Amino acid sequence: MSTDPVRTVGDVGEGELIDLFAGPDAIDDTDAGVLIGPGDDAAVLAGGGPVVVSTDALVDGQHFRLDWSTPGQVGAKAIVANAADVMSMGGRVTGFVVSLTCPKDLRVDTLVGLRDGMRSAARRYGAQVVGGDLTTGNQLVIAVTAIGAMDSRSPVRLSTAREGDVLAVSGELGASGAGLDLLLAGVPGFTSLVTAHCEPSPHLSLAAGAASAGVHAMTDVSDGLLSELRTMARQSGHAMHVDPSRVPVVPELAAAAAALHTDPLRWVLGGGEDHELLASFPAGVVPVGWTAIGTVTRRGGGPPVVVTGIDDVDLDLGWRTF
Amino acid sequence: MSTDPVRTVGDVGEGELIDLFAGPDAIDDTDAGVLIGPGDDAAVLAGGGPVVVSTDALVDGQHFRLDWSTPGQVGAKAIVANAADVMSMGGRVTGFVVSLTCPKDLRVDTLVGLRDGMRSAARRYGAQVVGGDLTTGNQLVIAVTAIGAMDSRSPVRLSTAREGDVLAVSGELGASGAGLDLLLAGVPGFTSLVTAHCEPSPHLSLAAGAASAGVHAMTDVSDGLLSELRTMARQSGHAMHVDPSRVPVVPELAAAAAALHTDPLRWVLGGGEDHELLASFPAGVVPVGWTAIGTVTRRGGGPPVVVTGIDDVDLDLGWRTF
């Protein structure tokens, strides 16, 4: 079908729009994990032990802007955020479904870009977009649900950090927060930071190795490091100590902080949407690819999160939806 | 916590809102099917063979109006629509996740009503709301994903009707469409029809028996009978014959049609959102509770859908989102 850019969602029929997502090319039929793809009442995926499920929506103007990100980047980000939730449980992603609410003036080529970004990101996690729903509304809302299989593994909770554990992350933090601030300030350049915000590519493949290595607790950094540590502390009853100088950052972070006259620690500790993994390992077993950034100690009467070099930690620092 | 009706989503903190959905009372812990409920990165459900998944969103002003429906009815309808998709595959519903996009001026008690409607409807299908996502936006969007298990059954496609089959439905059709037209026209009364629109309660429990009886094809009537028959005809390559005088209707339908000076057949054939099941059974095996309404024949050169008493069927009659 034509994807003439001047055409909008309101210009084309429902059937044609559905075909964009559920047409004959929607699914790679050689994928044995998809028993039934789009076109029926529901999709059916091959089972594999307990079923992991997570949902996360991106709202136009709230989580992305189409003048900052390409449609493909927005689609990919929606997939990555959901894959991170399944993989940080130690799950293997088996499929995604997508509920899209589209304004009638949304361009059809924007929809196609979103779709292609979702499809290619899903493939990076060994899965496909197997179903969805299209409706019209005032605002573009992309609600993705990721489905995963635990196979014979046990789910990795975020609540089960133990005293004496080593805290570690799977990659650099703060780049997404810096990219957002650069976009908000209209500062040009810093492509790697802006890209980290528009289309994060966290090291989620490290989750499987962490599970094999006996990780005690794991989550992904979606709301900022301090916010995630606070949650781990609250749920485990232990204290989380972190040394920010050990947290890996991309080289551009310092220059961006200088350009914006701010402290890069704000992004490292409070910046959200990096979606890297944060895990609590038994002492001595931090696997290759992970960077140790702190320890888990007995809570006692002290604060839940202790940051080296900062006396009074503002735990409310972090990504806020509301 | 207080649910003072004058408070809005914008008045309360994110933590308090999340507690409304993911607090200690969010899950019945005696339910062995929920291995991990809200509060972690993802929920984990007990597996049971292949995994069924379907997603469907309700958009304020598009699929519901809060001056027509109570929040509880809207929440229940979002669950029912998704349960229907899983159960019409022959699946057993195992859980729901919900992505809610809320305007900041949405009242907290509206949110609580939505939640309670979703929870109690989910229980009717033997499942719970196990996770979700809350974001703000311009318009209330309720995107629900239903997860199901096939256990040892085979999925029931909608494409596999066979020549000689009997078409049957699980309950009355047209009530939801009539209720919508009554609401649009501002005609008072006709409570059963209005309720059928605001909170449908289709006979989805008949799906399991249909699967046991060897049903060939099944779907739920979400877009109107003719629309579903057209889809079954297209996907199977056969012709669908239906006798509208055999389609069960509620007694109020004729009086509502008289009040609105219309033909009730318009609702029976084209009204959407009844969510009753439509199935294609081998001749002679229509189970108790189902009503035979037609047959499946060789397509030949004729139309895909033939309606007794109507020469020229308008297949575009039906619920339209776009």
CA A195 to chain centre: 14
A40 is in an annotated binding site: no
Using one digit for the tens of pLDDT, what is the confidence trace for B255-267? 999 999 999 999 9
Residue A72 and residue B229: Cα distance in Å, rounded?
A: 36
Sheet with strand B166-169: strands edge to edge:
B217-220, B277-281, B166-169, B291-297, B239-242, B305-307
Shared domain for B88 and B189, answered yes or no, is: no
| Residue of chain A nearest B217, judged by CA positions | A40
* B320 within some domain: no
Shared domain for A173 and A303, answered yes or no, is: yes
Shared domain for A244 and A279, answered yes or no, is: yes
- Give me the total of CB pairs closer than 8 Å, taking one residue from chain A and one from chain B: 237
CA B320 to chain centre: 15
* A79 within some domain: yes
Is residue B95 within 8 A of residue B45, CB to CB? The reply is yes
Residue B251 Cα, gap to closest chain A Cα (Å): 29
A54 is in an annotated binding site: yes
Residue B82 Cα, gap to closest chain A Cα (Å): 9
Which pLDDT does position A65 carry in this prediction?
96
- Tokens matching residue A60: 């136009």
Which pLDDT does position A197 carry in this prediction?
97
Looking up residue A193, the CATH number of its domain turns out to be: 3.90.650.10
Shared domain for B24 and B129, answered yes or no, is: yes
Residue B259 Cα, gap to closest chain A Cα (Å): 31
> Does B43 sit within 8 Å of A47, measured CB to CB?
no
Shared domain for A190 and A125, answered yes or no, is: no
Which pLDDT does position A321 carry in this prediction?
41
For residue B320, pLDDT beyond 50: no
Q: Please state the rounded mean pLDDT for residues B266-294.
A: 96
Shared domain for B101 and B194, answered yes or no, is: no
Which pLDDT does position A315 carry in this prediction?
67
* B313 within some domain: no
CA separation, residue A318 to residues A18, A203, A227, A255, B131 (Å):
38, 21, 6, 21, 22
For residue B235, pLDDT beyond 90: yes
Shared domain for A119 and A61, answered yes or no, is: yes
Report, as ranges of residue numbers, the positions in chain A whose pLDDT lies below 70.
1-5, 315-322
Q: What is the share, in percent, of chain B residues with pLDDT greater than 70?
A: 96
Residue A73 and residue B113: Cα distance in Å, rounded?
A: 36
Using one digit for the tens of pLDDT, what is the confidence trace for B55-102? 999 999 999 999 999 999 999 999 999 999 999 999 999 999 999 999
Residue A254 Cα, gap to closest chain B Cα (Å): 31
* A156 within some domain: no
| Residue of chain A nearest B104, judged by CA positions | A322
Domain end residue (candidates: B149, B183, B208) = B149
Using one digit for the tens of pLDDT, what is the confidence trace for B196-213? 999 999 999 999 999 999
Is residue A173 within 8 A of residue A242, CB to CB? The reply is no
B275 is in an annotated binding site: no
Which pLDDT does position B221 carry in this prediction?
97
- Tokens matching residue A174: 């703060």
> Does B139 sit within 8 Å of A55, measured CB to CB?
no
Domain end residue (candidates: A117, A149, A181) = A149
* A321 within some domain: no
Dihedrals phi, psi of A182, to nearest 5 degrees = -65, -40
Shared domain for B126 and B230, answered yes or no, is: no
Among A47, A141, A143, beta carbon nearest to B50: A47
Is residue B243 within 8 A of residue B143, CB to CB? The reply is no
Which comes out higher in pLDDT, residue B219 or B312? Answer: B219
A99 is in an annotated binding site: no
* A179 within some domain: yes
Q: Which amino acid is at A283?
A: A
Residue A138 and residue A135: Cα distance in Å, rounded?
A: 10
Handedness of CA B84, B85, B90, B93 (dihedral sign): negative
* DSSP-H helix ranges across A14-125: 14-22, 71-87, 108-124
Which helix (H) or strand (E) segment is B108 a member of?
A: helix B108-124
* A64 within some domain: yes
> How many domains is chain B partitioned into structurally?
2
* B157 within some domain: no
Shared domain for B145 and B177, answered yes or no, is: no
Quote the mean pLDDT of chain B.
Answer: 93
Looking up residue B75, the CATH number of its domain turns out to be: 3.30.1330.10
Q: Judge if ipTM > 0.90.
A: yes
- Cβ-Cβ contacts under 8 Å, A104 against chain B: 322
Shared domain for A180 and A257, answered yes or no, is: yes
Q: Please state the rounded mean pLDDT for residues B308-319.
A: 73
Shared domain for B199 and B122, answered yes or no, is: no
Which structural domain range is residue B139 located in? 9-149
Shared domain for A256 and A182, answered yes or no, is: yes
> DSSP strand E in B81-228: where?
92-102, 129-136, 141-149, 166-169, 217-220
